[in-house]
Chain A
Amino acid sequence: MNNKYSYERYSRQTLLKGFGEAGQEKLLRAKVLVIGAGGLGCPALQYLAAAGVGTIGIVDNDIVSLSNLHRQPLYSTADIGLFKSETAAKKLGELNPEISFSIYNERLTSANALEILAPFDIIVDGTDNFATRYLVNDACVLLDKPLVYGAVSQFEGQIAVFNFHSANNTPAVNYRDLFPNPPKENEVLNCAEAGVIGVLPGIIGTMQASETIKLITGIGKPLINSLLSFNALNNQTYEVSLQAKKETRSFIPTTKKDFESMNYEWLCAAERSPREIDITRFDELIAAGDTILIDVREPNERPEVTEFMHERVPLSTLIQSSIKSDAQTIVVFCQSGKRSLEVAEYLYELNDKSRNVYSLKGGILKWKEYHQKKETV
């Protein structure tokens, strides 16, 4: 390196045996794309930027909200309502002005993914939903790029390096070798319902940064073709080895055209029930009157709903009692729209399909998020 300032900035890591200035040069030449600037993406971005990865891409079209801050301390309370990608790039630029950032303030879709991923050497998956995870995996296989995977749920996390061709000619494993197809909506509790301890994505995202730095500099033994599980409650780790499977390839599009015609949202979502309504329709029904709105969450569940009149009949008591009101339309909601859909199906049958029974798709969390965004944007 010819710049004295750079030398000082990275001096504590260039001192390391096996890393040295050669390792630093590799980092400065590397291009890493972090998809999702949330719980996993924030710490990954911070350490990659601090370490001196020369070009960092950030994909996220979400805005900072209050419920993000317990696990995304890159952002501050004053950033609520601002775009994550832009806010993250600004803060990371202050941390390390010697590197460059590419901001993609858009949602990753099968139409834009290949173009966005193409210029980068390594992809870091910090997404928060199965649809995007499968999309990112398939794009990495198609473009033949290493993928540093991380995911969290409650108190546990998973980390792996996918699609990395090691020197010993072992076939590279991808996410679909582990889970060939996305779970159906009722097979896995979603994050908003399951919850997550704030520090956990901090640990897992930092480990993703560590794996990325190891891949770039060629040090250590990255989690190639292995999946590591970490439990924050008892500090236990468990590593399992993964094998590439022939049939996996049949699930992954092999051409740009096939990839672009894949509908990942649809692939991952359960078929929409006729009982489900979206936020717009929900708001119309609130305004229309002659509709009884029921919150079926348990009494201790937050956030409270103060925006519109409703009844609270927890799921645990609802099944026994019948609905007293004779309103023609019943609308039920819960946290994520899953439990309320079950209730809606049940009530619809119970009333011999004579009343309109609907469930708010996405639940009250999505509804609140939507209205919060409408206010801030």
Chain B
Amino acid sequence: MAVNIIIFGQLTDITGEQNLVVSDVRDTDQLIAKLNTMFPAMSGSKYVLAVDKRVISDNTILENNSTIALLPPFSGG
């Protein structure tokens, strides 16, 4: 199974892309671990996950074709 990732803000400086497809992840903990392996700088970055447009705080089971947004905090004004 595969999930779609949308990356926001300066996290795209790390991933180089705004959209990614990641396969073989069952839940958000696995997804985070996989992203940290793919992009080591991600582990030092702050962001929250939104699974299918809902911000989550606990580990969440992913479904095939789920869309996960990575949202970093912005401070600028």
A38 to B8 Cα, complex, angstroms? 23
Q: Is the CB of B77 within 8 A of A36?
A: yes
Q: Is the CB of A152 within 8 A of B44?
A: no
Given known A187-B44, A187-B45, contact A151–B53 (CB-CB < 8 A): no
Could you say which interface size class chain B belongs to? 20 to 34
Given the complex, which residues of A lie within 8 Å of B46, measured CB to CB?
179, 183-184, 187-188
Q: Is the CB of B45 within 8 A of A153?
A: no
Given the complex, which residues of A lie within 8 Å of B75, measured CB to CB?
127-130, 133, 151, 153, 188, 190-191
Given the complex, which residues of B lie within 8 Å of A243, measured CB to CB?
54-55
Confirm or deny: A65 has a beta carbon within 8 angstroms of a beta carbon on chain B: no
- Checking B9, B48, B54 against A153 with a beta-carbon cut-off of 8 angstroms, the contacting residue is B9
Given the complex, which residues of B lie within 8 Å of A196, measured CB to CB?
76
- In the assembled complex, the CB of A341 is this many whole angstroms from the nearest CB of chain B, namely 15
- In the assembled complex, the CB of A338 is this many whole angstroms from the nearest CB of chain B, namely 13
Q: Is the CB of A153 within 8 A of B76?
A: yes
Given the complex, which residues of B lie within 8 Å of A184, measured CB to CB?
46
Given the complex, which residues of B lie within 8 Å of A152, measured CB to CB?
74, 76-77
- Checking A127, A154, A231, A238 against B77 with a beta-carbon cut-off of 8 angstroms, the contacting residue is A127
Q: Is the CB of A188 within 8 A of B10?
A: yes
Confirm or deny: B40 has a beta carbon within 8 angstroms of a beta carbon on chain A: no
- In the assembled complex, the CB of B17 is this many whole angstroms from the nearest CB of chain A, namely 13
Q: Is the CB of A241 within 8 A of B76?
A: no
Q: Is the CB of B44 within 8 A of A229?
A: no
Confirm or deny: A224 has a beta carbon within 8 angstroms of a beta carbon on chain B: no
A126 to B10 Cα, complex, angstroms? 20
Q: Is the CB of A239 within 8 A of B53?
A: yes
Given the complex, which residues of A lie within 8 Å of B9, measured CB to CB?
153-154, 156
Q: Is the CB of B71 within 8 A of A126?
A: no
- In the assembled complex, the CB of B12 is this many whole angstroms from the nearest CB of chain A, namely 9
Interface residues of A in 111-167 (CB under 8 A from B): 125-130, 133, 150-154, 156-158
Q: Is the CB of A240 within 8 A of B76?
A: no
Q: Is the CB of A38 within 8 A of B53?
A: no
User: Which residue on B lies nearest to A35, using beta carbons?
Assistant: B77
Q: Is the CB of A179 within 8 A of B48?
A: yes
Q: Is the CB of A126 within 8 A of B77?
A: yes
A194 to B71 Cα, complex, angstroms? 16
Interface residues of A in 172-198 (CB under 8 A from B): 178-179, 183-184, 186-191, 194, 196
Given the complex, which residues of B lie within 8 Å of A229, measured CB to CB?
8, 69, 71
- Checking B6, B48, B74 against A157 with a beta-carbon cut-off of 8 angstroms, the contacting residue is B74
- Checking B6, B69, B77 against A150 with a beta-carbon cut-off of 8 angstroms, the contacting residue is B77
Interface residues of A in 212-248 (CB under 8 A from B): 227, 229, 231, 238-243, 245
Confirm or deny: A39 has a beta carbon within 8 angstroms of a beta carbon on chain B: yes
A267 to B44 Cα, complex, angstroms? 18
User: Which residue on A lies nearest to B50, using beta carbons?
Assistant: A240
Q: Is the CB of A240 within 8 A of B6?
A: no
- Checking B57, B69, B73, B77 against A40 with a beta-carbon cut-off of 8 angstroms, the contacting residue is B77
Q: What are the interface flags for B43-72 relative to A under an 8 Å C-beta threshold, 1 for contact and 0 otherwise? A: 011101010011101000000000001011
- Top 9 A-B residue pairs of the complex, sorted by shortest distance between their CB atoms: A191-B76, A151-B74, A128-B77, A240-B50, A187-B46, A153-B74, A183-B46, A152-B76, A40-B77
16 example contacts (A-B, Cβ-Cβ < 8 A) are as follows A151-B77, A152-B76, A156-B74, A178-B55, A187-B44, A188-B73, A188-B75, A190-B75, A229-B71, A238-B8, A238-B69, A240-B50, A241-B54, A242-B55, A243-B54, A245-B57
